[in-house]
Structure 1
Amino acid sequence: MNHKLFIGARLRRLREQAGLNQAAMAARLGISLSYVCQLENNQRPVSATVLLKLVEAFDCEVSDFSEEQDRRLLGELRDVFRDRLLAGEGVGQAQLVRMVEQVPELASAFVGLVQRHQRLQDEYAQLADRLHGDQLPTLLAPLPHEEVRDFFNRRDNYIDTLDALAEERAGRGGLVPGERAAALRRILHDEHGIEVEGLGNTAADGMLRRFDARRSRLAVATHLSDAQQAFQIATQLALIAHRDVIEAEIAAAGFSDAQTSALARQGLAHYFAGALLLPYGDFRAAARSSRYDIEALQRRFHVGFETVCHRLSTLQRSGARGVPFYLVRVDQAGNISKRQSATAFHFARHGGACPLWHVHDAFTQPGRILTQVAEMPDGTRFFGIARSIGRGGGGWRVPRKSFAIGLGCELSHARELVYADGLDLDAQREVVPIGPGCRVCPRADCVQRAFPPAGKLLETGVDVEFLTSYRFEDEGRKHSGNRAAAARG
Structure 2
Amino acid sequence: MSKTLIGPQLRQLRRAYNQTQAEMARQLGVSASYINLLENNQRSLSVKVLMELTDAYGVDWRKLVNDNEAILLADLRATVRDPIFAGAAPDLQELRAALDHAPQLVEQFLKLHQSHRFLLDTLHHVGDPESRSGVLAASPESVIHDFFRQNENHFATLERAAEAARDRLGGRQDDLYAMLKSQLQRAHGIDVDVVAIDEMTDTLRIFEAENGRVMLSEALDPINRTFQLAHVLGLVSCATQIDALIATDGSLPEIAHARCRVELANYFAAAVLMPYGPFLNLAETTDYDIDRLTATFTASFEMVCQRLTTLQRRGAQGVPFFFLRIDRAGNVSKRFNATPFTLAEQGGSCPVWNIHSAFASPGTIVPQLVELPDAGQFFTISRTTDRPAISRHTQDRRLVVALGCERAQLQRVGYARRFHMAENADVAEIGINCHICPRQACAQRAHEPLHRKLPIDANRRGSTRYES
TM-score (normalised: structure 1): 0.66
**Offset, 1:152:** 1.2
Return the letter of the residue paired with 1:466: G
Aligned to 2:409: 413
Matched, 1:299 2:301: no
Match of 1:124 among 103, 119, 123: 119
**8 A Cα contact 2:140 2:255, kept in partner:** yes
After superposition, the Cα gap between the structure-2 partners of 1:443 and 1:396, relative to the gap in structure 1 and judged at 3 Å, is same
**Offset, 1:126:** 2.9
| Separation in 1, partners of 2:305, 2:117 | 31
Name the SS of the counterpart of 2:393 in structure 1: coil
| Separation in 1, partners of 2:243, 2:437 | 39
**8 A Cα contact 1:438 1:449, kept in partner:** yes
Aligned to 2:437: 441
Match of 2:227 among 231, 241, 263: 231
**8 A Cα contact 1:332 1:363, kept in partner:** yes
After superposition, the Cα gap between the structure-2 partners of 1:139 and 1:245, relative to the gap in structure 1 and judged at 3 Å, is farther
Residues 54-453 of structure 1 aligned to structure 2 (within 5 Å): 124-126=119-121, 140-201=136-197, 205-254=201-250, 257-393=253-389, 395-398=391-394, 401-424=397-420, 426-428=422-424, 430-453=426-449
| Separation in 1, partners of 2:281, 2:363 | 26
| Separation in 2, partners of 1:123, 1:283 | 37
Equivalent pairs: percent with the same residue?
36
**8 A Cα contact 1:362 1:387, kept in partner:** yes
**Offset, 1:352:** 1.5
**8 A Cα contact 1:358 1:386, kept in partner:** yes
| Separation in 1, partners of 2:371, 2:145 | 24
**Offset, 1:420:** 2.1
**8 A Cα contact 2:329 2:347, kept in partner:** no
Return the letter of the residue paired with 1:151: F
**8 A Cα contact 2:344 2:433, kept in partner:** yes
Could you list the per-position Cα deviations for residues 109-157 of structure 1 after superposition, in whole angstroms to 9, with x for gaps in the alignment? xxxxxxxxxxx9997143899xxxxxxxx99220122111221122222
Name the SS of the counterpart of 2:173 in structure 1: coil
- Gapped regions of structure 1 (runs ≥ 5): 1-119, 130-137, 477-489
Q: How many residues align?
A: 345
After superposition, the Cα gap between the structure-2 partners of 1:379 and 1:426, relative to the gap in structure 1 and judged at 3 Å, is farther
**Offset, 1:317:** 0.8
Larger radius of gyration: 1
After superposition, the Cα gap between the structure-2 partners of 1:461 and 1:343, relative to the gap in structure 1 and judged at 3 Å, is same
Match of 1:455 among 426, 451, 455: 451
**8 A Cα contact 2:419 2:425, kept in partner:** no
Name the SS of the counterpart of 1:430 in structure 2: coil
Return the letter of the residue paired with 2:460: V
| Separation in 2, partners of 1:395, 1:139 | 38
Name the SS of the counterpart of 1:206 in structure 2: coil
| Separation in 2, partners of 1:203, 1:419 | 43
After superposition, the Cα gap between the structure-2 partners of 1:441 and 1:220, relative to the gap in structure 1 and judged at 3 Å, is same
**8 A Cα contact 1:180 1:227, kept in partner:** no
**Offset, 1:402:** 1.2
| Separation in 2, partners of 1:145, 1:302 | 28
Q: Aligned-residue CA RMSD in angstroms?
A: 2.6
After superposition, the Cα gap between the structure-2 partners of 1:425 and 1:412, relative to the gap in structure 1 and judged at 3 Å, is farther
| Separation in 2, partners of 1:447, 1:284 | 41
Name the SS of the counterpart of 2:340 in structure 1: coil
**Offset, 1:273:** 0.7
